[in-house]
Amino acid sequence: SAVISQKPSRDICQRGTSLTIQCQVDSQVTMMFWYRQQPGQSLTLIATANQGSEATYESGFVIDKFPISRPNLTFSTLTVSNMSPEDSSIYLCSVRDGLSYEQYFGPGTRLTVT
Amino acid sequence: GQQLNQSPQSMFIQEGEDVSMNCTSSSIFNTWLWYKQDPGEGPVLLIALYKAGELTSNGRLTAQFGITRKDSFLNISASIPSDVGIYFCAGQFDAGGTSYGKLTFGQGTILTVHP
């Protein structure tokens, strides 16, 4: 399985600011995804990070709020823009194995907005 | 959109007991995945299921893909304290296009094991 790292692991931010979360994979992967896990809740897909093209966002998530970059097959960033306390969540990067269709998750970034 | 109902929401069991949890969907999936999440960590993949009726084991864990493709269950036998955590089911339906690779998650089952 792929080894996925995320930076930062956690952060406390002021409302109105932005935070960029990095996701690094130890092998080239076609499909990378960003999920949000609100406190005590399940995981919700934010978007699919497409290499070389704009990300595909799920209903309820927009590019202005969650811009995503995917410059190559091993790296992606998610920015949480103009943060409010409602954005306090764990943000998780995941990748899909092209052969087995299994999906693996990074350790997550725990964000608290004050 | 697709919704997954996972039950039970929580379980309190004694060490050594067997555990069973399940997920049902309003629509079909062609892949079911089961994850475990420990506090402060990302979900870890336990078992992946690809065919209706498939029964797959991973150590003390056994999972099945329902015949209707709308449900799955996970069993843990002879539970131990390190089984504590939150277990999530996730369904995937690859219809191509924008749905490709998208996982829909259940609400999770919180498992507590008393020594």
Residues B44-57: tens digit of each pLDDT: 999 999 999 999 99
Query: Is pLDDT of B97 > 60?
Result: no
What are the phi and psi torsion angles at A9 (to 5°)? -80, -30
Max mean pLDDT among A23-32, A80-89, B25-34, B98-107 falls in A80-89
Query: What does DSSP assign to residue A36?
Result: E
Q: What is the pLDDT of residues A77-96, one digit of tens each?
A: 999 999 999 999 999 999 98
Which residues, at least 6 apart from A99, have a Cβ–Cβ distance to it below 8 Å?
none
How many pairs of residues across A and B have Cβ atoms under 8 Å apart? 60
My answer on whether omega of the bond before B8 falls inside 30° of 0, hence cis, is yes
Find residues 35-54 of chain B whose CB sits inside 8 Å of chain A: 35, 40-45, 48, 50
- Please check whether residue B68 is in contact with residue B84, taking contact to mean a CB–CB distance below 8 angstroms: no
The answer to whether the beta carbons of residues B86 and B21 sit under 8 Å apart is no
| Predicted confidence (pLDDT) at residue A69 exceeds the cutoff of 90 | yes
CB contact under 8 A, A48 and B31: no
Q: How confident is the model at residue B77 (pLDDT cuts 50, 70, 90)?
A: very high
**Spatial CB neighbours of B95, under 8 Å, sequence gap ≥ 6:** none
Q: Of B108, B104, B103, B101, which Cα lies nearest the Cα of B74?
A: B108
B32 is written with which tokens? 């079911």
Distance from CA of A39 to the nearest CA of B (A): 11
For A93, the closest chain B residue by CA position comes to B42
Span B84-104, average pLDDT: 82
